[in-house]
Structure 1
Amino acid sequence: MQGRAFESHKLIRFQHCDPAGIVFYPQYFVLFHELIEDWFNDGLGIKYGDFIAKQRLGVPTVRIECDFVAPSTIGETLALRLIVRRAGRSSIALSLSAYAGESVRVRTEQVIVLFSLESRNAIPIPPELRTQIDNFVVGEQDVAR
């Protein structure tokens, strides 16, 4: 089955920018984490707040690689896209990107891991969560780079 991308739109605000009026690069990581939270809430149908506070689970980043292609400026609205490349036993490989119109601004390859906040260890992805994640798995040939 062909997966799909999850997309969220974010307005670039003063808080995201350096004195030159362009996004200060660490802010992209904040925006991409917000995208992952939006994906849980709206894409996977899991309340991210409950996931952390009640289920005592998290999805920390264990690997990240990023290309900053072009600057984004205050007042722009970026389309942030999330694609699942693969889901392992406890890890999820993501392709995240930010666009202004058709112009790519940032591309990130990120691996997150399902993590117990109680034991502080990676845990296997439960079957019901894996089923939801699989809806977003897109083959390598389908991921635009």
Structure 2
Amino acid sequence: MTPTEAFTHTRRITWGETDAARIGYTARFLDFAMEAVERWFQDRLGTGWYEMNVDEGIGTPFVHVQMDFRSPVTPRDTLTSTVRLARLGGSSLRFAVVGRVGERLAYEAELVCAFVDTARMKPIPAPDRYRPALEAEAALASG
């Protein structure tokens, strides 16, 4: 099935994710974005990172992360992260991830991962079995 809209992942912020200022701990924002991307893999490709790694010998390490913090989050908040595959490269995936609490922008991130052969930790082309779904996602983001 071809997706018609960007993938979203919703989660509640927990007390344990806050710092002494009683807002979301800065380092957790990367976790929020990566969690959303992993859920994207599960939903859009039908597999998670663990399964790809263990069952297929394929890893997807992140090679670049850029993030802007726009507003704090607290345990009163439900964070919705929208994931778009902004660019499909030969072996890389560039994601645009935007986190919102309602209409309020909480963070914007760009994450790039690469497909690798886990035995050699060398880049490999995006696997053929995932390419149709990846191409559909890239087209969705550009359209």
Normalising by the residue count of structure 2, what TM-score does the alignment of the two structures yield? 0.90
- SS of equivalent residue, structure 2 residue 129: helix
Aligned twin of 1:67: 68
RMSD: 1.7
Alignment coverage as a number of residue pairs: 140
Q: Does 1:109 align with 2:110?
A: yes
Q: 1:85 touches 1:94 (CA, 8 Å); kept in 2?
A: yes
Q: How much has 1:89 moved relative to structure 2?
A: 0.4
Matches within 5 A, 1:67-106: 67-106=68-107
Distance in 1, Cα, partners of 2:47 & 2:101: 28
Q: 2:49 touches 2:60 (CA, 8 Å); kept in 1?
A: no
| Structure 1 gaps, min length 5 | none
Aligned twin of 1:21: 22
Distance in 1, Cα, partners of 2:33 & 2:23: 17
CA distance 1:12–1:2, shift in 2 (3 Å)? closer
Q: 1:4 touches 1:135 (CA, 8 Å); kept in 2?
A: no
Q: How much has 1:98 moved relative to structure 2?
A: 0.5
Distance in 2, Cα, partners of 1:95 & 1:7: 12
Distance in 2, Cα, partners of 1:43 & 1:15: 29
Q: 1:37 touches 1:48 (CA, 8 Å); kept in 2?
A: yes
Counterpart residue identity of residue 111, structure 1: V
Q: Percent identity?
A: 24
Distance in 2, Cα, partners of 1:15 & 1:57: 32
| Structure 2 gaps, min length 5 | none
Distance in 2, Cα, partners of 1:115 & 1:38: 19
Distance in 2, Cα, partners of 1:107 & 1:73: 17
Q: 2:39 touches 2:48 (CA, 8 Å); kept in 1?
A: no
Aligned twin of 1:52: 53
- SS of equivalent residue, structure 1 residue 136: helix
Q: How much has 1:2 moved relative to structure 2?
A: 8.5
Distance in 2, Cα, partners of 1:58 & 1:40: 12
Aligned twin of 2:133: 132
- SS of equivalent residue, structure 1 residue 118: coil
Normalising by the residue count of structure 1, what TM-score does the alignment of the two structures yield? 0.88
